[in-house]
Amino acid sequence: MKIIILTAAIVLVSRQFLFEPVSVHGQSMMPTFEEDDKVVLSKISRIDNFDMIVFVAPDKKNYIKRVIGIPGDRVEMKDDQLYLNGKRVAEPYLEENRKWAKENGYPELTADFGEFIVPGDCYFVLGDNRLNSVDSRMIGFILEEAVIGEVKFRLSPVENIGIVK
């Protein structure tokens, strides 16, 4: 009985403070994540540029997005090209979506927005499926306290199990 109670306590503490499994809902991160993919979040990670996080949005739903800007970063989008702290940044995770956009008559994946600085204790996030994503362009900056965790591991689909990069 002691072993069962100890095991249950370890699982509960780990889930509350260290890790949390979640399901992906929506198409905003396609093709990186598809509907109903299962991922594991780390609740103790330091969030950095281009990490993928799950957070509680203003509508009280959990969203998964890619962190583009961290506190103090200067972010700008010009001619479908991301600039971070004045430097042009490649976004290879967008290639499949860029191809689809061009084939379907969309001249750009991401509309221009002027340079701004990400405030302290906030993140600027975008979905990989930029044409179909509710992200910081619509809902504003994400407060650090709204972040549930960083996506670290994919549990499903089976062919994609592994560490998320």
Q: Is 165 a catalytic residue?
A: no
CA-based nearest residue to 20, from 75, 70, 64, 59 = 64
Q: Cα(33)–Cα(35) distance, rounded to whole angstroms? A: 7
Active-site pick, 2, 28, 60, 133: 28
CA-based nearest residue to 163, from 8, 52, 43, 77 = 52
Q: Is 14 a catalytic residue?
A: no
Using an 8 Å Cβ cutoff, are 131 and 50 in contact?
no
Active-site pick, 2, 45, 61, 65: 65
DSSP 57-88: -TTS-EEEEEEEE-TT-EEEEETTEEEETTEE
Using an 8 Å Cβ cutoff, are 119 and 144 in contact?
no
**Active site residues per annotation:** 28, 65
